[in-house]
Amino acid sequence: MKYRFLPAALALFGLMLSGCSTPGVVTPTLVLPVPMQVSYQSELGIARLGQMLNAPGLTPEQRAELFFQRGVVFDRVGLRAMARLDFNRALREQPDFADAYNLNGVYLTQNQEFDEAYESFDSALELAPDYVYANLNRGIALYYGGRPELAARDLRVFLDAEPADPYRLLWWHLARYQIDAEDALTTLAAHRDQYGTDEWAWDIVDVYLGRLAPEVLLSRIAEQSQDNQELAEMLCEAYFYLAKLAQHNAQSEQAEVYLKLALATNIYDFVEHRYALLELDLIGQQARLKR
């Protein structure tokens, strides 16, 4: 089967997600994929790239590209320390490598080294001014670095490049919500009405707007996904944004559960997986400060 319903094993999760139990009310059932595993192709790709790097006569640009490509594969399988090492090697070989600056900045953001992350994204954008994914990642770094106005500016640049992309809209909304929650929701609704399509991720936007229940979103994902990988990818995204919505609603326990469910998919190279881990780190830091 392409997905599993596990209401019994997840009784605790169900209680946390639904609040206090009420007689006659059915606890929402969570949807879980089989966690993704490292593929044979990825393992083979790492080995082949290593062999190519040992070939004689490579130019610095060729070595930089091979280090970068191997770093991308390491990142895809969750070997983040190895990935970051390769991205730094790529930059040593080719100091004007915008892609490597961009992904290095992502790792710096995950490590909460925000000033260094900003510098890395600035370098990427100086080398490639139209590199909107560097705007996305700098915007996320600014969001987590407590600078929502600057974050919203970068994330709006990213959104404007493809205004019908619901993920771009959601990140812009998260930054704007920190500035003015009511205005952010009004703008979110207006943008959804203007640009919304039948792409499934617009259902997440509808959950934020109160037009769709979270359990309906999860049910639709289970019905629409074609295989376990697609299910895992969709759930990684959905659970992350449900966690952020729970935070907005001061439902900290629900948010923590959703973040753990996003991580459990093992979709390591998704933005939502990366920052689910950072979110949990921040929750842990806050808990330690309260002790």
Structure tokens at 187: 């703008």
Q: What was the pLDDT predicted at 144? A: 98
Per the prediction, the chain carries an average pLDDT of 89
Crossing angle between the packed helical segments 252-263 and 11-18, to the nearest 10 degrees? 140
222 Cβ contact list (under 8 Å, min separation 6) = 3, 5, 31, 231
Instruction: Determine the 3-state secondary structure of 177 from DSSP.
Output: helix
Residue 80 has pLDDT above 70, yes or no: yes
The 8-class DSSP code of residue 162 comes to S
**Three-state secondary structure along 40-101?**
HHHHHHHHHHHHHHCCCCCCHHHHHHHHHHHHHHHHHCCCHHHHHHHHHHHHHHCCCCHHHH
The 8-class DSSP code of residue 212 comes to S
Q: What was the pLDDT predicted at 57? A: 93
Over residues 143-162, mean pLDDT: 98
66 Cβ contact list (under 8 Å, min separation 6) = 49, 52, 53, 58
127, 104 contact by CB (below 8 A): no
Give dist(CA 118, CA 138) in Å, integer.
6
Q: What is the pLDDT of residues 135-147, one digit of tens each?
A: 999 999 999 999 9
- Which DSSP string do the residues of 1-44 spell out, in sequence order? ---EE-TTTTHHHHHHHH-S--TTPPPPPPEEPPPP---HHHHH
Phi and psi at 183, nearest 5°, equal -65, -35
189, 209 contact by CB (below 8 A): yes
Q: Which amino acid is at 226?
A: Q
Over residues 221-238, mean pLDDT: 94
Structure tokens at 126: 């100086």
The 8-class DSSP code of residue 126 comes to H
Residue 2 has pLDDT above 60, yes or no: no
Q: What is the pLDDT of residues 259-276, one digit of tens each?
A: 999 999 999 999 999 999
User: Residue 68's Cα: distance from chain center in Å?
Assistant: 20
Phi and psi at 4, nearest 5°, equal -130, 140
